[in-house]
Amino acid sequence: MRLHGVIPPVCTPLTDDGEVDVASLERLCGFLLDAGVHGLFAGGSTGEIGQLTDSARATVLSTVTRVAAGQVPVLAGVIDTGTQRVIEHARAAGKLGADGIVATAPFYVRTGPAEVAAHYRAIAAAADVPVIAYDIPSNVGYKLPSALIAELAHEGVITALKDSSGDLESFRRVLAATGDIGFPCLTGSETLADLALAAGAHGVVPGLGNVDPHGYLRLYDAARNGQWNAARAEQQRLSGLFTIIEVPDTTRIGPISAALGAFKAALKLRGVIAHAGTAPPLLPLLPAEVDKVAAVMADAGIPGKGRK
């Protein structure tokens, strides 16, 4: 599995009573596939993996794999606090048809490089599908060292990296250390995608890609063809659209509620999903905030049906 291109971390639409909205999730996956994405990542941070029950995780993944139907690789987040819990998720994901699993470092307990290495080796030994390392220190409290990533890559323990650290220097070190083995390195940044691609990234995994997959595909194609002025221009437009996450009042709700609530509000405005609710304890946007999201979308040239 050689991951590349635009692989959105799929949002998880919910019904008003908090269950997975399967019909909306099917429409969202169809919307992304019709745009031409190169893969789908179910159960990432954007998919509210930390708030979903095991049953909801299974519903999300089975829906995404069914809609994808082999057209593109489907990655499954197996994010949890400890190794044995992750292994259980990994085995379940394999049975549900995932082509690869995405795992962070363990969290809640403080760990060091030796423990993190053992964590990934145990997951790889137990899983039936490839393991992708997910570097997101803002959420798990640990930055994967570039030397450790390279070591695990050369051992074949991990088969790709999703880097959401925002540390481009570390990302460049991983690219340099793994270039001889064709190790796919993907950036999770919405706003630094052009710079990461210029540095040699193989693809992008942007949460905002749910809202505007076509924009990230244009950015990726421009970068792949060496059209860097076009790539920078598209990145600038997407960065403007990304300011939807700054609309909510963060004295009322936290930054994750603000970001995921904005993504879902935008998807509802686009007519892709039916409800913009988020999983507890995350809170949705207020009506006035949704109106501001619609205005930002309009400035970025994204159509919306208006708030109802």
**For a pLDDT cut of 70, what percent of the chain falls above it?**
99
- CATH code of 44's domain: 3.20.20.70
In a domain, 47, yes or no: yes
Q: 307 near 287, Cβ under 8 Å?
A: yes
pLDDT tens-digit map of 225-265:
999 999 999 999 999 999 999 999 999 999 999 999 999 99
307 band by pLDDT with thresholds 50, 70 and 90: low
Whether residue 237 lies inside any domain: the answer is: no
Query: What's the sign of the alpha-carbon dihedral 84, 187, 272, 18?
Result: positive
Q: What is the pLDDT of residue 304?
A: 80
* pTM over 0.85, yes/no: yes
- Average of pLDDT values for 17-43? 98
Q: Is residue 143 part of a domain?
A: yes
How many C-beta atoms lie closer than 10 Å to residue 238's C-beta? Answer: 23
Which domain does 178 fall in, by range?
5-227
Total of domains in the chain:
1
Q: Which residues are catalytic?
A: 134, 162
Q: For residue 239, tell me if it sits in a domain.
A: no
Q: How far apart are CA 57 and CA 52, in angstroms?
A: 6
pLDDT digits (tens, 9 = 90+) for 225-236: 999 999 999 999
pLDDT at position 308 over 70: no
User: What pLDDT score does 222 carry?
Assistant: 98
Q: Tell me, yes or no, whether 253 lies in a domain.
A: no
Chain segment 42-72, per-residue pLDDT in tens: 999 999 999 999 999 999 999 999 999 999 9
DSSP string, 49-114: GGG--HHHHHHHHHHHHHHHTTSS-EEEE---SSHHHHHHHHHHHHHTT-SEEEE----SS---HH
Q: Helix or strand or coil: residue 127?
A: coil
| 148 found inside a domain | yes
Per the domain annotation, does 207 fall within a domain? yes
Q: What phi and psi values does residue 145 have, to the nearest 5 degrees?
A: -65, 140
User: Is 296 a member of any domain?
Assistant: no
